């Protein structure tokens, strides 16, 4: 008869076997089951709610994107982005709407850097949209948590209507009506808050011509 | 509907949903811990792993099983990250560097889920699924198993046996966590969370730029991350990321998942000790802190004190438009009171007092309602202290649920209470004293101090959320916070299991005229006071230097 293993070693072997079984069950079978069922039953959502324009995928309705003018020098990483006036603009993003670098600014509530950034954004948005600085809503001057916020407040969307209509030579009332059609209420009337999806709005705007 | 009304409505519906689940779920968990029958799948699993499902363990053996399982888990998860470049689905990422892999392995095994890495640029899909998500399940199950042993200490008498860790672990995973995760994970997918094995999908944006859309088995990890009060995000942005938390409904559901098991466990406790009123009393204390926290964070964020929020006109920095103030504050209060640490908005940019409340929530020791299992055992240790304090007032030997609280029991309870503050305050002191580590703070002044205090509070209490301003991916921070998480998780477990063993040995004493009733409002008030004074006040000097100095 083999000598029995010491108790401590035996416990660790049991632990290892338990972990391996759990890994197969919870680490492989479970996520693959969910992936299989998810892909079969909800393929659009499971693959990131991708949206198309003119037959090509242009992004995800859940992931915000930038609407900037092309860079003067594409090789210059430090060249500041210039918003394209023909489009509704999203919120500031700490990561430049890059899904491989998500996150927030993490600047504190009394941070001088943040206060300066907020003031500069307010002045820039007011000048860009041709409105009084006091009319610029809070979401237009603060970065989101994810850096990918696909939404803006209805107030910020309405504030941009005049500029977009003017640059595109469109009827202001038509653009304003388009914005109102894109205002989404909270889910079930009370979960979350009112918002406008910028990519969806701009796609519709593109189709308006 | 006004935002204020909507805010209160989401809380009311949440409370209603939790109340509806309290009895059935709590009773179900009690059944798991008391039923002598094994499922067929469980018997097969015991055969595979060499476990004797009918054995009953003494507390040192139970403890050794917990520690062995956790040690093996840390090593396995560490190795998995170190060799991920050789594995399938690595997405081309290199091996995780040593100090970060250690920190992450400890973080997920201790149910902390502090993340010094950025998910979308560090971890391949296989490590996320077979490494991190597995620990999301089993670390949660370990916490629930330990509280089962403690409750058995109260219910059993004249025995040295407190249950079988392997059976508790297996049953919690197979009969509680996995079925809920499968069903609710699919609900998350239906609502918009992604679930695929893709790498990056390059798209041309509307203006002709390029964007790389990330993929991954996100929903399967998201659901257990909340349900097991883990909190480690698939992506760096955690539950603020639209793929993890796409809309107001999923946000509400995720808060519900965070609270579901911790809130139901007092029922399990009441049921097992044979007096449901004991469960209601514990739940009431938890509810007092949770309601107060939700109200305070919401109030402070809505008031938007702080220079930056004033300049912007609202405290929207670090918050998502689809959630807004009320849904962000509800999430923040719930995640910091439960040791979850998932975030749907970034606490570093919260107003001074709003962010201060989130730190204080963690400092309470994650007990209201706390992490799965760990919340209830933390609260029960404080209940022991509360009974003891009441006994001192009237000058008689205190007893709780028929068990005498003597010197031995009080030693374990006291050691439990001292462990976490010692780790938090020593760690924070050390970090502030070292010039190099101090320089890692993004913000200066009291807010910088708050960041360091938050980091150690979060690690030692196994919360895992962050005032993300500090650069914590350095070897010093990875090691220091890794050690804080280990000590903050396992040393208290040692004391809890020792207490369980000590209680189980006793012959119960009958209740008399002089016994303090522990199911009445008087006891709820007493326990609330003990939590505030014994735990909360320990940290007052540290809080005064950080959030209080900043807010005044």
Closest Cα to residue B489, out of B61, B78, B105? B105
Mutation choice for A interface testing from B213, B253, B468, B471 by most A CBs within 10 A = B213
Q: Which of A84, A145, A153 sits opposite B318 (nearest CB)?
A: A145
- Residue A139 covered by a domain: yes
Q: Which residues of B touch A38 (CB under 8 A)?
A: 186, 189, 195-196, 219
Domains identified in chain A, total number: 2
Q: Do A8 and B236 touch (CB under 8 A)?
A: no
Q: Which residues of A touch B252 (CB under 8 A)?
A: 187, 191
Are A37 and A54 found together in one domain? no
Q: First and final CA of chain B: distance in angstroms?
A: 34
Is A182 within 8 Å of chain B by CB? no
Are A31 and A57 found together in one domain? no
Are A98 and A21 found together in one domain? no
- Ranges assigned E (strand) in chain A: 50-53, 56-60, 151-152, 183-184, 195-197
Q: Do B51 and A14 touch (CB under 8 A)?
A: yes
Q: Which of A14, A191, A195 sits opposite B50 (nearest CB)?
A: A14
**Searching chain B, which residue's CA lies closest to the CA of residue A61?**
B242
Q: Do B349 and A12 touch (CB under 8 A)?
A: no
Are A93 and A14 found together in one domain? no
| DSSP letter, residue B534 | I
- Residue A75 covered by a domain: no
- Residue A78 covered by a domain: no
Say how far apart CA B145 and CA B137 lie, in whole Å.
Answer: 12
Are A119 and A141 found together in one domain? yes
* Residue A1 confidence (pLDDT) above 60: no
- Which of A36-45, A67-76, B63-72 shows the lowest mean pLDDT across its residues? A67-76
**The tokens of A209 are what?**
């011509």
Is A188 within 8 Å of chain B by CB? yes
CB B123 within 8 A of CB B93: yes
Is A11 within 8 Å of chain B by CB? yes
Say how far apart CA B136 and CA B16 lie, in whole Å.
Answer: 27
Say how far apart CA B93 and CA B91 lie, in whole Å.
Answer: 6
Q: Which residues of A touch B212 (CB under 8 A)?
A: 98-100
- Residue A77 covered by a domain: no
Say how far apart CA A119 and CA A141 lie, in whole Å.
Answer: 8
Q: How many CB atoms lie within 10 A of CB B491?
A: 17
- Ranges assigned E (strand) in B291-396: none
Is B73 within 8 Å of chain A by CB? yes
Q: Which of B120, B252, B348 sits opposite A108 (nearest CB)?
A: B348
Q: Which residues of B touch A7 (CB under 8 A)?
A: 64
ipTM of the complex, rounded to two decimals: 0.96
Q: Do B207 and A67 touch (CB under 8 A)?
A: yes
Q: Which residues of B touch A33 (CB under 8 A)?
A: 182
Is B409 within 8 Å of chain A by CB? no
Q: Do A12 and B49 touch (CB under 8 A)?
A: no
Contacts of A67 (CB under 8 A, 6+ apart): A83, A84, A87, A88, A89, A90, A198, A202, B205, B206, B207
**The tokens of A171 are what?**
């009827």
Q: How far is B386 from chain A (nearest CA, A)?
A: 36
Q: Which residues of B touch A41 (CB under 8 A)?
A: 186, 189-190
Per-residue pLDDT of chain B (552 residues; tens, 9 = 90+): 788 899 999 999 999 999 999 999 999 999 999 999 999 999 999 999 999 999 999 999 999 999 999 999 999 999 999 999 999 999 999 999 999 999 999 999 999 999 999 999 999 999 999 999 999 999 999 999 999 999 999 999 999 999 999 999 999 999 999 999 999 999 999 999 999 999 999 999 999 999 999 999 999 999 999 999 999 999 999 999 999 999 999 999 999 999 999 999 999 999 999 999 999 999 999 999 999 999 999 999 999 999 999 999 999 999 999 999 999 999 999 999 999 999 999 999 999 999 999 999 999 999 999 999 999 999 999 999 999 999 988 888 899 999 999 999 999 999 999 999 999 999 999 999 988 777 777 777 888 899 899 999 999 999 998 886 778 889 999 999 999 999 999 999 999 999 999 999 999 999 888 889 999 999 999 999 999 998 888 999 999 999 899 888
Q: How many CB atoms lie within 10 A of CB B97?
A: 15
CB B240 within 8 A of CB A146: yes
**Searching chain A, which residue's CA lies closest to the CA of residue B180?**
A30
Are A180 and A87 found together in one domain? yes
CB B174 within 8 A of CB B195: no
**The tokens of B208 are what?**
């002709």
Mutation choice for B interface testing from A5, A123, A168, A191 by most B CBs within 10 A = A191
Q: Do B252 and A191 touch (CB under 8 A)?
A: yes
Q: Which of A12, A98, A108 sits opposite B469 (nearest CB)?
A: A108
- Omega cis (within 30) before B358: no
**Searching chain B, which residue's CA lies closest to the CA of residue A8?**
B64
Closest Cα to residue B463, out of B420, B413, B417, B418? B420
Q: Do A35 and B247 touch (CB under 8 A)?
A: no
Q: How far is A72 from chain B (nearest CA, A)?
A: 13
Q: Which of B212, B305, B320 sits opposite A144 (nearest CB)?
A: B320
**A positions 27-66 inside 8 Å of B (CB):** 27-28, 30-31, 33-35, 37-39, 41-42, 45-50, 53, 56-60, 62-63, 65-66
Q: How far is A66 from chain B (nearest CA, A)?
A: 8
Buried b (16+ CB within 10 A) or exposed e, A103-141: bbbbbbbbbeebbebbeebbebbbeebeeeeeebbbbbb
**Searching chain A, which residue's CA lies closest to the CA of residue B187?**
A38
Is A198 within 8 Å of chain B by CB? no
Contacts of B211 (CB under 8 A, 6+ apart): A59, A63, A65, A97, A98, A99, B202, B203, B205
Are A54 and A91 found together in one domain? yes
**Searching chain A, which residue's CA lies closest to the CA of residue B354?**
A109
- Per-domain residue ranges for chain B? 3-551
Are A15 and A63 found together in one domain? no
How sure is the predictor about A209, in pLDDT bands with cuts at 50, 70 and 90? Answer: low
CA B277 from chain centre, in angstroms, equals 25
B183/A1: higher pLDDT: B183
pLDDT value at residue B371: 96
Structural domain of residue A31, as residue ranges?
Answer: 7-44
Average pLDDT, chain B: 95
Q: Which of A7, A15, A66 sits opposite B69 (nearest CB)?
A: A15
Q: Do B313 and A138 touch (CB under 8 A)?
A: yes
């Amino acid at each position: 008869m083999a000598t029995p293993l010491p108790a401590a070693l035996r416990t660790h072997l049991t632990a290892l076997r338990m972990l391996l079984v759990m890994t197969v069950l919870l680490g492989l079978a479970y996520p693959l089951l969910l992936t299989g069922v998810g892909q079969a039953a909800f393929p659009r959502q499971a693959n990131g709610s991708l949206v198309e324009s003119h037959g090509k995928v242009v992004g995800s309705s859940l992931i915000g994107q930038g609407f900037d003018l092309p860079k003067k020098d594409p090789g210059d990483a430090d060249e500041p982005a210039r918003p394209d006036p023909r489009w509704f603009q999203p919120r500031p993003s700490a990561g430049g709407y890059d899904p491989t670098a998500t996150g927030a600014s993490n600047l504190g509530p009394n941070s001088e850097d943040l206060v300066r950034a907020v003031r500069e954004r307010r002045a820039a948005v007011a000048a860009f949209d041709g409105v009084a600085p006091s009319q610029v809503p809070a979401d237009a001057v603060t970065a989101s948590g994810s850096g990918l916020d696909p939404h803006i407040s209805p107030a910020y969307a309405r504030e941009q209507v005049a500029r977009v209509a003017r640059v595109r030579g469109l009827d202001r009332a038509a653009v304003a009506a388009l914005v109102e059609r894109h205002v989404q209420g909270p889910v079930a009337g009370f979960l979350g808050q009112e918002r406008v999806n910028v990519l969806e709005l701009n796609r519709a705007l593109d189709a308006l011509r | 509907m006004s935002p204020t009304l909507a805010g209160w409505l989401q809380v009311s519906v949440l409370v209603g949903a939790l109340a509806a689940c309290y009895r059935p779920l709590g009773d179900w968990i009690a059944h798991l811990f008391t039923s002598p029958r094994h499922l067929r799948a469980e018997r097969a699993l015991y055969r595979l792993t060499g476990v004797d499902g009918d054995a009953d363990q003494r507390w040192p053996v139970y403890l050794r099983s917990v520690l062995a399982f956790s040690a093996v888990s840390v090593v396995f998860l560490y190795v998995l990250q170190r060799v991920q470049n050789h594995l399938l689905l690595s997405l081309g990422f290199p091996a995780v560097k040593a100090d970060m892999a250690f920190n992450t392995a400890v973080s997920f095994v201790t149910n902390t889920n502090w993340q010094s890495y950025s998910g979308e640029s560090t971890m391949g899909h296989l490590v996320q699924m077979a490494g991190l998500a597995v620990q999301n399940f089993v670390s949660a199950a370990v916490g629930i198993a330990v509280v089962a042993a403690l409750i058995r200490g109260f219910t059993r008498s004249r025995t040295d046996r407190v249950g079988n860790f392997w059976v508790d672990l297996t049953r919690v995973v197979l009969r509680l966590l996995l079925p809920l995760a499968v069903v609710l994970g699919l609900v998350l997918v239906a609502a918009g969370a992604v679930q695929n094995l893709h790498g990056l999908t390059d798209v041309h944006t509307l203006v002709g730029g390029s964007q790389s859309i990330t993929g991954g088995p996100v929903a399967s990890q998201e659901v257990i991350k909340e349900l097991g009060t883990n909190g480690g995000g698939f992506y760096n942005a955690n539950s603020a990321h639209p793929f993890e938390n796409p809309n107001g409904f999923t946000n509400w559901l995720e808060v519900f998942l965070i609270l579901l098991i911790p809130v139901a466990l007092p029922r399990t406790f009441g049921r097992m000790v044979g007096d449901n009123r004991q469960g209601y009393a514990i739940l009431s204390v938890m509810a007092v802190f949770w309601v107060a926290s939700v109200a305070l964070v919401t109030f402070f964020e809505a008031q938007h004190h702080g220079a930056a929020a004033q300049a912007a006109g609202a405290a929207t920095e670090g918050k998502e438009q689809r959630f807004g103030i009320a849904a962000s504050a509800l999430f923040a209060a719930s995640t910091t009171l439960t040791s979850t640490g998932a975030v749907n908005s970034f606490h570093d940019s919260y107003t001074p007092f709003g962010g201060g409340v989130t730190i204080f929530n963690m400092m309470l020791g994650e007990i209201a309602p706390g992490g799965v299992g760990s919340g209830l055992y933390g609260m029960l240790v404080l209940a022991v202290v509360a009974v003891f304090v009441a006994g001192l007032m009237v000058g008689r030997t205190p007893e709780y649920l028929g068990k005498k609280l003597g010197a031995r029991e009080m030693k374990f309870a006291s050691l439990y209470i001292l462990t976490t503050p010692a780790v938090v305050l020593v760690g924070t002191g050390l970090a502030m004293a070292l010039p190099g580590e101090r320089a890692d703070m993004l913000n200066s002044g009291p807010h910088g101090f708050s960041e360091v205090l938050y980091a150690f509070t979060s690690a030692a209490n196994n919360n895992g959320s962050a005032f993300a301003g500090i650069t914590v991916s350095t070897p010093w921070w990875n090691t220091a916070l890794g050690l804080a998480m280990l000590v903050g998780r396992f040393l208290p477990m040692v004391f809890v299991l020792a207490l369980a063993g000590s209680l189980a040995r006793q012959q119960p004493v009958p209740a008399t005229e002089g016994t303090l009733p522990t199911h009445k409002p008087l006891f709820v008030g007493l326990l609330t006071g003990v939590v505030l004074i014994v735990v909360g006040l320990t940290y007052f000097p540290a809080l005064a230097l950080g959030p209080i100095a900043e807010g005044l």
